[in-house]
Amino acid sequence: MLPCSEVHWKILPAVCRQLALCMEKEKVPRASIAFALGTSEAAISQYISGKRGAGKLPARAKKECCALAKKFAAGKVKADEMDAGISMIVVIAKGSMLGRNDPCAICMGMGREKNRAVAGKGRNAAAGAGKSWV
């Protein structure tokens, strides 16, 4: 399996599930959770019920998910700023140090450029720019 495939099929769904659980614990409405994660309310329901994203995460990744959820709930992180936090949680979850040959280093670099290109156009513009995380 390619490293990106592992992230896409295993790690990212587990991160999204943990974020959804933590955000719901912080009383964030499901519509807001869906918007922040770039997915639907139905997907959020599946994350919360355990039907989606059942992969295991290291304790540190879970802790970072809850910290990001608290920042979002407090208004310190906006929906269009969630990508950077999620990217760092994925790195923690996969145990990568973002070495020169790590595919995540490439994606994270491209993500920053893509985010600059769609800045000010809202979350849907970023999702339409080729991002399909969930």
| Sequential pLDDT tens for the chain (134 residues) | 566 777 777 889 999 999 999 999 999 999 999 999 999 999 999 999 999 998 889 999 999 999 999 999 999 999 888 988 998 898 888 876 555 555 555 555 544 444 333 333 344 433 333 333 33
Domain assignment of residue 45, yes or no: yes
Buried residues in 110-127 as b, exposed as e (16+ CB within 10 A): ebeebbeebeeeebeebb
Closest CA to 23 of 34, 12, 14, 13: 34
Domain membership of residue 44 as a residue range: 3-128
Looking at the structure of the chain, the number of domains it has is: 1
Domain-embedded: residue 84 = yes
Question: Residue 15: its pLDDT value, please?
Answer: 95
Amino acid at 73: A
- Residue labelled with tokens 């997915």: 39
Is 37 within a domain? yes
Q: Does residue 134 sit within a domain? A: no
DSSP element (H, E) containing 2: none
